[in-house]
């Protein structure tokens, strides 16, 4: 029974559902301790994210799912290689900055959108590459390297907003993407643009890359262990660089798409407030999606719903919207435990062994 | 001599800047020596900082705030240790979860506790007083003492050998009768407590405020320092001074027109992070982590 792949999947889905429930339950406890009404809070949250009677809210959910698909893929690819690239945050900042630079350049209008996306992707890839070089050549812990680069990227975009790329009329944001460089909206009067469709296509392409190409295969072999990879004739350093470049490119593209595809500002706002947090949220998305490019899509919709509904929760129940971040943290902690069924199985084996000894 | 005054100021300030990084790194050195890795330092600092401000501000007693921070740190260490040691969870993921939770929880709690968004400054009475004459924080002396005590425990006492054995070769430790799991859990709890103290240094001693990004990456710089120090508390002391000095120096540069004309303000803020990367990249090839760090120890096959 345990050998069957289907049962394993059921166990995984059960674990994911359990982790989400634990996160929401402990979140409710914290909301209650804070003096708010948890029922009202969660009703507000779901009414403004998965409300069947108003498509606007679901479109909003999908618009939040878009960037975290990209950052989720970044984390997923690195996880598959046994590496923890938690630098999607900074890589996304650099991608967004790349798009803003293109927006400032007065290019001929058909060139703006492709140039913005390409520049953003390349700048994200560059940011990933730097982290990769530290990891591959100097053996610097990638967690440390990526977090340092996140902070550096943060101050670089703050610099860019204050010196040269700021909107001359509105201090609180950079130059906006001109109308010719914007992606069409999928649903009128919502924030959902073509960027979501691009995200879906990219997720499928990453799946094909990971399971149907040589490099993808090498990445997964590296995940089985550095020694394993070496025996298979793979240079772990080269594959590590691939992981960081591709991961950075994905988050960079995600950042550029935020500039080209998210109303109303089409720009980076003060302290990156409109893109901050998507990188770290990608970690929750990837973990909920079992680090699988296709499963990341439903996971991104769940997390996108939390993000989209956080404002409704704040308006209807006065609960500060950062609460959903805390819920995400609780879900991640719950997911770090290798499955409660696994613990149960272990306990059963232990019991059986003890019984055997005493007999 | 204004230059000398400036240097003196930078040195005194550096004693503050080095404390949170050093305390968190000391906690992590102990935790990793026992075989558990905890990358949730940033989150532990942040949550401890929050509660220490809350208690110190309510009671107007900074020492109660310090104790609270230590307690909260130990509690989160207990959770992480339990997941890592007994549930055999993924230690990196658990640490990431702690950081994510902290970022959301603290921003939420600042509003719940004080009804303000994003930023709170405690009353002056809630601040840890400075020592007379030398002008440093009493917690600085405590930090130096903790460094030396931790070094002596790890290298001169039987228990230190046992802890290090758990991180190097838990099977061997188990065979000679060391209670590996208990040793790892205790080390993780103490590591969390020291990181909690680091949080109190930030919120009621040095910076005397609480924001949702108070540690600003110091939890991760502490992780870098652990590598830099080759898991040795005394090297940690040296390294933390380098990091603390760089951090303080970059703050001072912002006040000097000479520097701000050469490097614009927002970019000066990148100096501590760039310096951390360069210092760590230059040294790390020679450091050696405990052999079994981060791998859950399983006694029986499953």
- Reported as a single tens digit per residue, the pLDDT across A19-63 is 999 999 999 999 999 999 999 999 999 999 998 888 899 999 999
Q: How far apart are CA A244 and CA B225, in angstroms?
A: 23
Are residues A34 and B281, on separate chains, in Cβ contact within 8 Å?
Answer: no
Q: Can you tell me which residue has the tokens 């975009």?
A: A157
Phi-psi region of B289 (alpha: psi -120 to 50; beta: other; left: phi over 0): beta
**Residues 6 or more apart whose Cβ sits within 8 Å of residue B213:** B103
The answer on pLDDT for A202 being more than 50 is: yes
Mean pLDDT within B94-111: 96
Size of interface A-B (CB pairs under 8 A): 163
Residue B181 lies in a domain: yes
- Reported as a single tens digit per residue, the pLDDT across A301-356 is 999 999 999 999 999 999 999 999 999 999 999 999 876 556 556 666 676 777 65
Q: How far apart are CA B65 and CA B181, in angstroms?
A: 31
Please give the C-alpha separations between residue A211 and each of A40, A80, B255, in angstroms, as whole numbers. Answer: 44, 11, 54
Residues 22-41 of A with CB under 8 A from B: 30, 34-35
List CB contacts (< 8 A) between B43 and chain A. 329
Residue A326 near chain B (CB below 8 Å): yes
The winner for highest mean pLDDT among A177-191, A200-214, B241-255 is: A200-214
Share of chain A above pLDDT 90, in %: 76
* Three-state DSSP state, B179: coil
- Residue of B215, B174, B147 whose CA lies nearest to B298: B174
Residue A344 lies in a domain: no
What the block records as the tokens of A24 is 């929401």
Q: How far apart are CA A3 and CA A25, in angstroms?
A: 32
Question: What is the nearest CA distance from A187 to chain B, expressed in angstroms?
Answer: 31
Domain that holds residue A186: 65-296
Residue B39 near chain A (CB below 8 Å): yes
Residue A358 lies in a domain: no
Q: How far apart are CA A13 and CA A6, in angstroms?
A: 11
What pLDDT shows up at residue A15? 86
Secondary structure of chain A in the HEC alphabet? CCCCHHHHHHHHHHHHHHHHHHHHHHHHHHHHHCCCCHHHHHHHHHHCCCCCCCHHHHHHHHHHHHHHHHHHHHHHHHHHCCCCCCCHHHHHHHHHHHHHHHHCCCCCHHHHHHHHHHHHHHHHHHHHHHHHHHHHHHCCCHHHHHHHHHHHHHHHHHHHHHCCCECCCCCCEECCCCHHHCCCECCCCCCCECHHHHHHHHHHHHHHHHHHCHHHHHHHHHHCCHHHHHHCCCCHHHHHHHHHHHHHHHHHHHHHHHHHHCCCCCCCEHHHCCCCCHHHHHHHHHHHCCCCCCCHHHHHHHHHHHHHHHHHHHHHHCCCCCHHHHHHHHHHHHHHCCCHHHHHHHHHHHHHHHHHHHC
What the block records as the tokens of B225 is 């320092």
Q: How far apart are CA A182 and CA A255, in angstroms?
A: 14
Question: What is the nearest CA distance from B147 to chain A, expressed in angstroms?
Answer: 23
Are residues B107 and A320, on separate chains, in Cβ contact within 8 Å?
Answer: yes
ipTM of the complex: 0.92
Question: What is the nearest CA distance from A127 to chain B, expressed in angstroms?
Answer: 13
Q: A277: exposed, middle or buried (C-beta count within 10 Å: 0-12, 13-18, 19+)?
A: buried
Residue B143 lies in a domain: yes
Q: Are B143 and B137 in contact (CB under 8 A)?
A: no
Q: What are phi and psi of B210, to 5 degrees?
A: -135, 130
Cross-chain CB nearest to A147 (options B220, B227, B269): B220
Interface test with chain A among B25, B32, B97, by most A beta carbons within 10 Å: B97
Q: A233: exposed, middle or buried (C-beta count within 10 Å: 0-12, 13-18, 19+)?
A: exposed
Residue B115 near chain A (CB below 8 Å): no
Residue B10 near chain A (CB below 8 Å): no
What pLDDT shows up at residue B117? 85
Are residues B89 and A324, on separate chains, in Cβ contact within 8 Å?
Answer: no
CA-based end-to-end distance of chain B: 70
Q: B144: exposed, middle or buried (C-beta count within 10 Å: 0-12, 13-18, 19+)?
A: middle
Q: Within 13 Å and on the Cβ side, how many CA atoms surround A336?
A: 29
The answer on pLDDT for A2 being more than 50 is: no
Query: Could you write out the DSSP letters of every residue in B72-141?
Result: HHHHHHHHHHIIIIIS---HHHHHHHHHHHHHHHHHHHHHHHHS-SSEE---GGGSPPPPTTT---HHHH
CA A38, chain centre distance (Å) = 27
Please give the C-alpha separations between residue B1 and each of B4, B7, B9, B153, B302, in angstroms, as whole numbers. Answer: 6, 10, 13, 44, 70
Confidence of residue A172 (pLDDT cuts 50, 70, 90): confident
Q: Can you tell me which residue has the tokens 């084996």?
A: A349
Residue B302 lies in a domain: no
- Number of domains making up chain B: 1
* Three-state DSSP state, B277: helix
- Reported as a single tens digit per residue, the pLDDT across B10-20 is 888 888 899 99
Q: Give the pTM.
A: 0.92
Q: How far apart are CA B134 and CA A116, in angstroms?
A: 56
Contacts by A5-9, CB closer than 8 A, 24 or more apart: none
Q: Are A181 and A260 in contact (CB under 8 A)?
A: yes
What pLDDT shows up at residue B302? 45
Mean pLDDT within B24-36: 96
Confidence of residue A358 (pLDDT cuts 50, 70, 90): very low
Cross-chain CB nearest to B277 (options A148, A319, A331): A148
Q: Are A74 and A88 in contact (CB under 8 A)?
A: yes
Residue B132 near chain A (CB below 8 Å): no
What the block records as the tokens of B40 is 């949730």
The alpha carbons of chain A give a radius of gyration, in whole angstroms, of 22
CATH number for the domain spanning B272: value is 1.10.3470
Are residues A333 and B267, on separate chains, in Cβ contact within 8 Å?
Answer: no
How many C-beta neighbours within 10 Å does residue A13 have? 12
List CB contacts (< 8 A) between B83 and chain A. 333, 336-337
Q: How far apart are CA A255 and CA B47, in angstroms?
A: 30
Q: How many helices (H) and strands (E) does chain B have?
A: 13, 2
Residue A140 near chain B (CB below 8 Å): yes
Cross-chain CB nearest to B266 (options A162, A319, A349): A162
- Reported as a single tens digit per residue, the pLDDT across B112-171 is 999 988 889 999 889 998 888 777 889 999 999 999 999 999 999 999 999 999 999 999
Are residues A333 and B79, on separate chains, in Cβ contact within 8 Å?
Answer: yes
Residues 71-90 of B with CB under 8 A from A: 79, 83, 87-90
Cross-chain CB nearest to A337 (options B83, B103, B276): B83
Q: What is the mean pLDDT of chain B?
A: 90
Please give the C-alpha separations between residue B54 and each of A34, A275, B59, B171, B212, in angstroms, as whole numbers. Answer: 14, 30, 9, 44, 14
Are residues B103 and A325, on separate chains, in Cβ contact within 8 Å?
Answer: yes
- Reported as a single tens digit per residue, the pLDDT across A90-124 is 999 999 999 999 999 989 989 999 999 999 999 99
Cross-chain CB nearest to B276 (options A148, A159, A333): A148
Share of chain B above pLDDT 90, in %: 65
Residue A151 near chain B (CB below 8 Å): yes
Q: How far apart are CA A131 and CA A241, in angstroms?
A: 9
How many C-beta neighbours within 10 Å does residue B183 have? 23
Residue B297 lies in a domain: no
Are residues A156 and B88, on separate chains, in Cβ contact within 8 Å?
Answer: no
Q: Are A268 and A97 in contact (CB under 8 A)?
A: yes
- Number of domains making up chain A: 1
- Reported as a single tens digit per residue, the pLDDT across B283-298 is 765 677 888 888 888 8
Share of chain A above pLDDT 70, in %: 93
Q: How far apart are CA A97 and CA A111, in angstroms?
A: 17
Sign of the dihedral through C-alpha A287, A288, A290, A291: negative
Domain that holds residue B147: 2-286
Residue A133 near chain B (CB below 8 Å): no
Element at B183 (helix H, strand E): helix B180-200
């Amino acid at each position: 029974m345990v050998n069957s792949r289907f049962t394993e999947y059921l166990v995984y889905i059960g674990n994911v559902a359990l982790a989400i429930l634990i996160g929401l339950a402990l979140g409710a406890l914290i909301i209650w301790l804070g003096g708010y009404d948890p029922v009202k809070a969660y009703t507000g949250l779901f009414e403004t994210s998965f409300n069947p009677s108003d498509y606007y809210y679901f479109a909003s959910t999908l618009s939040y799912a878009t960037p975290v698909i990209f950052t989720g893929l970044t984390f997923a690819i690195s996880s598959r290689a046994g590496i923890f690239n938690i630098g999607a945050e900074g890589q996304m900042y650099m991608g967004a900055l790349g798009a803003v630079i293109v927006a400032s350049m007065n290019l001929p209008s058909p060139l703006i959108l492709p140039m913005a996306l390409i520049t953003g992707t390349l700048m994200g890839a560059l940011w990933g590459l730097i982290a990769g070089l530290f990891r591959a050549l100097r053996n610097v812990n990638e967690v440390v390297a990526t977090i340092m680069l996140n902070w550096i990227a943060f101050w670089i975009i703050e610099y860019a907003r204050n010196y040269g790329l700021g909107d001359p009329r509105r201090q609180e944001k950079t130059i906006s993407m001109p109308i010719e460089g914007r992606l069409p909206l999928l649903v009128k009067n919502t924030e959902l643009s073509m960027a979501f469709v691009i995200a879906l296509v990219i997720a499928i392409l990453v799946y094909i890359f990971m399971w149907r190409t040589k490099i993808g295969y090498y990445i997964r072999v590296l995940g089985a262990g550095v020694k394993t990879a070496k025996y298979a004739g793979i240079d772990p350093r080269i594959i590590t660089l691939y992981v960081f470049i591709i991961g950075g490119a994905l988050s960079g593209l995600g950042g550029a798409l935020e500039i080209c595809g998210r109303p109303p500002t089409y720009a980076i706002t003060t302290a990156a407030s409109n893109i901050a947090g998507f990188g770290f949220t990608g970690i929750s998305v990837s973990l909920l999606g079992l680090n699988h490019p296709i499963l990341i899509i439903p996971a991104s919709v769940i997390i996108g719903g939390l993000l989209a509904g956080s404002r409704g929760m704040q308006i209807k129940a006065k609960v500060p919207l950062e609460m959903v971040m805390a819920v995400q943290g609780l879900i991640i902690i719950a997911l770090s435990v290798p499955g409660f069924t696994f613990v149960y199985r272990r306990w059963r084996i232990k019991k059986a062994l003890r019984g055997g000894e005493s007999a | 001599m204004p230059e000398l005054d400036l240097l003196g100021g930078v040195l005194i300030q550096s004693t503050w800047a080095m404390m949170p990084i050093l305390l968190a790194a000391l906690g992590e050195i102990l935790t990793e020596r026992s075989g558990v890795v905890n990358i949730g330092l940033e989150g532990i600092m942040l949550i401890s900082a929050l509660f220490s401000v809350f208690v110190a501000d309510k009671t107007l007693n900074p020492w109660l705030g310090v104790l609270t921070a230590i307690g909260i740190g130990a509690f989160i260490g207990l959770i992480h240790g339990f997941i890592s040691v007994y549930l055999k969870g993924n230690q990196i993921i658990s640490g990431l979860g702690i950081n994510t939770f902290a970022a959301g929880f603290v921003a939420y709690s600042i509003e719940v506790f004080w009804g303000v968004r994003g930023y709170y400054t405690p009353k002056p009475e809630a601040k840890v007083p400075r020592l007379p004459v030398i002008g440093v924080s009493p917690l600085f002396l405590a930090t130096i003492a903790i460094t030396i005590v931790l070094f002596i425990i790890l290298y001169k006492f039987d228990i230190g050998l046992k802890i290090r054995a758990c991180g190097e070769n838990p099977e061997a430790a188990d065979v000679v009768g060391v209670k590996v799991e208990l040793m790892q859990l205790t080390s993780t709890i103490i590591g969390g407590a020291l990181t909690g103290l680091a949080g109190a240094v930030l919120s009621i001693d040095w910076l005397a405020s609480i924001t949702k990004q108070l540690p600003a990456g110091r939890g991760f710089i502490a992780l870098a320092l652990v590598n830099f120090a080759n898991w040795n508390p005394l090297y940690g002391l040296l390294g933390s001074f380098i990091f603390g000095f760089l951090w303080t120096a970059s703050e001072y540069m912002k006040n000097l027109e000479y520097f701000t004309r050469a490097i614009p303000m927002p970019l000066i803020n990148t100096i501590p992070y760039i310096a951390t990367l360069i210092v760590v990249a230059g040294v790390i090839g020679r450091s050696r982590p405990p052999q079994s760090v981060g791998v859950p120890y399983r006694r029986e096959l499953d």
